[in-house]
């Protein structure tokens, strides 16, 4: 593998990817940070060094809830604090029960990463480009069809404090579906994990204090009707001491370029 080296006075040492390598440019003039260093091998240019300095981090949510209309006001199917979260499961689809309206589920990620002490805000400050992101979810047993049909649509809940919910409005006020990531849930059986792609813009929104959001629909949350084939219950922050094999996991890959 190619690499770039420098003389430290006694030996040649490798310059690691992500280091600051500069070159002189007459436009300015001044020094500019190089994105890559290449050499000619006789037939083509080969990269010896790149500014790329990728890092992948995983995060557990600090808060989860699902909400829906109950015919008069917003109904919270979970408690609204990160400590008292015994019912903080997540919902997808529409259930033809006492409150036959579509679920919107929220996840907040404002803590540190799973294996360290880095927040998403700090990580993005050091590596501001989100290359990819995904959200792993576990579908609880006993709820909905064994093999559902429908879609999970992911966006951003734009209210900054997800712990303080509106009492009288849910239909689109805080739903931000630009962009929307749509995943077919066909075959996502009860008792199994599934990983969903997350748009990088949603990660930048999390940095700004917002929450991830998913629903079967992007409008019509107040429309009542029968149970949809996408109806599922999804594991959240159960009882304050969740099963780490089932808890939602956000994975982000960040870089400087």
pLDDT digits 0-9 by tens, 73-129: 777 664 434 444 445 789 999 998 888 999 999 999 999 999 999 999 999 999 999
Please check whether residues 150 and 32 belong to one and the same domain: no
In the chain, which residue ranges form alpha helices assigned H by DSSP?
A: 120-126, 200-207
Q: How far is CA 215 from CA 83, 110, 128, 212, 221, in A?
A: 24, 21, 28, 11, 9
pLDDT at 35: 79
Same domain, 100 and 222: yes
- At 192-231, the pLDDT tens digits run 999 999 999 999 999 999 999 999 999 999 889 999 999 9
Integer Cα distance of 205 and 155 in angstroms: 10
pLDDT over threshold 70, residue 38: yes
Strands 55-59 and 249-255: antiparallel
Same domain? For 47 and 168 the reply is: no
The pLDDT value recorded for residue 166 is: 65
Higher-confidence residue: 176 or 89?
A: 176
**pLDDT, position 82:** 42
- Same-domain status, 21 and 76: no
Q: What is the model's pTM?
A: 0.84
Asked if residue 61 lies in contact with residue 109, where contact means CB atoms within 8 angstroms, the answer is: yes
Asked if residue 167 has pLDDT above 50, the reply is yes
Domain that holds residue 13: 4-52
Instruction: Work out the number of other CB atoms within 10 angstroms of the CB of residue 120.
Output: 22
129 and 242 together in one domain:
yes
Q: How many domains does the chain have?
A: 2
């Amino acid at each position: 593998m190619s690499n770039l080296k420098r003389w430290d006075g006694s030996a040649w040492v490798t310059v690691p990817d992500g280091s600051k390598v500069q070159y002189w440019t007459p436009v300015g003039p001044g020094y500019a940070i190089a994105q890559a260093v290449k050499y000619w091998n006789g037939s083509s240019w080969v990269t010896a060094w790149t500014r790329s300095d990728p890092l992948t981090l995983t995060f557990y949510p600090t808060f989860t809830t699902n909400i829906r209309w109950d015919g008069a006001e917003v109904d919270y199917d979970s408690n609204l604090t990160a400590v008292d979260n015994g019912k903080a499961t997540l919902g997808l689809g529409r259930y033809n029960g006492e409150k036959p309206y579509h679920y919107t589920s929220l996840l907040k990620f404002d803590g540190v990463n799973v294996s360290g002490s880095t927040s998403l805000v700090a990580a993005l400050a050091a590596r501001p480009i989100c290359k990819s992101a995904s959200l792993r979810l576990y579908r609880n047993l006993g709820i909905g069809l064994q093999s559902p049909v429908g879609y999970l649509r992911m966006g951003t809940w734009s209210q900054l404090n997800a712990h303080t919910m509106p009492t009288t409005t849910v239909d689109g006020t805080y739903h931000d579906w630009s962009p929307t990531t749509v995943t077919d849930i066909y075959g996502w059986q009860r008792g199994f994990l599934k990983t969903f792609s997350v748009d990088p813009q949603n990660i930048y929104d999390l940095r700004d204090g917002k929450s991830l959001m998913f629903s079967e629909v992007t409008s019509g949350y107040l429309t009542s009707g029968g149970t949809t084939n996408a109806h599922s219950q999804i594991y959240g922050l159960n009882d304050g001491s969740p099963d780490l094999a089932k808890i939602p996991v956000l994975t982000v890959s960040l870089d400087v370029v």
